[in-house]
Amino acid sequence: MKQLEMLYEGKAKQVFRTDDPDKIIIHYKDAATAFNNIKKATIENKGVLNNAISTLIFKELHKAGVKTHYIETINDRDQVCRRVTIIPLEVIVRNVIAGSMAQRLGIEEGTQPSNVIFDICYKKDELGDPLINDHHAVALGAATYEELNEMYAMTAKINEVLKELFLKMNIKLVDFKIEFGKTSDGEIVLADEVSPDTCRLWDATTNEKLDKDRFRRDLGKVREAYEEILARLQKIVG
């Protein structure tokens, strides 16, 4: 398989076409952004760490029967994935209240809700990915009600698998964001990445933050936190 031209450049990744129409190559960069691109930096080796972390997580999800875009990891920064059309929604799962939900609703970060919370946001950089609901998503043409239900069922399963995996690493999965894509034959699969860029991960004993909040909130030791996640993951599944 040959890598061809770049199809898309995101904040943390590049996507390349290949000579196989059903496969793309995803390249993980060291760039870090927050607050819709207002804050930018390079975190040395982040791309390598996120590629490794995301690879191990996709493999665990696959073992648990979750359909994903992941095919194989070909070097320390590149994955071969199925080519999909990204559904322009971000699905957010909150097991513990933190971040934007804590702010928006005036709830103390770390509060345990009685139920798991699913949010959806419309993926549109110019609008800052606004929080929407199912009816908005359907009216916007982002997904049908049936597709939303399928995405929510997959999301619930993904949350169960990831919560258990992280707990084995003595890590609390506070919240995370995922994206779905549709393959050429109409199948909905988990796409994008699952990494400390897209999850809030707190040490279960100390509540130390081991994720991108270290960058967002200038807490220091960002790379070290990502390294810690990879090391604990490798101990469990590596």
The residue among 79 and 198 lying less far from ligand C5P, judged by its C-beta, is 198
Write down the least CB distance from residue 119 to ligand C5P, Å. Answer: 7
Write down the least CB distance from residue 89 to ligand C5P, Å. Answer: 11
The residue among 78 and 90 lying less far from ligand C5P, judged by its C-beta, is 90
Neighbouring C-alpha atoms within 13 Å toward the C-beta of 96? 16
Contact track, ligand C5P, 119-158, x by CB under 6 A: ----------x-----------------------------
Q: Which stretch binds ligand C5P (CB under 6 A): 13-21, 39-47, 90-98, 148-156?
A: 90-98
Write down the least CB distance from residue 184 to ligand C5P, Å. Answer: 26
If one asks whether residue 111 binds ligand C5P (CB under 6 A), the answer comes out as: no
Contact 177, 129 (CB under 8 A): no
- In sequence order, what DSSP letters do the residues of 38-51 get, joined into one string? TEEEE-TTHHHHHH
Write down the least CB distance from residue 172 to ligand C5P, Å. Answer: 12
CA 152, CA 79: separation in Å to the nearest integer? Answer: 26
Query: Using the rule CB under 6 A, which residue among 29, 82, 200, 214 binds ligand C5P?
Result: 200
Contact 158, 198 (CB under 8 A): no
* Sign, CA torsion 6/49/119/39: negative
The residue among 74 and 225 lying less far from ligand C5P, judged by its C-beta, is 225
The residue among 217 and 221 lying less far from ligand C5P, judged by its C-beta, is 217
Helix (H, G, I), strand (E, B), or coil: what is residue 8?
Answer: strand
Contact 171, 165 (CB under 8 A): no
Contact 112, 173 (CB under 8 A): no
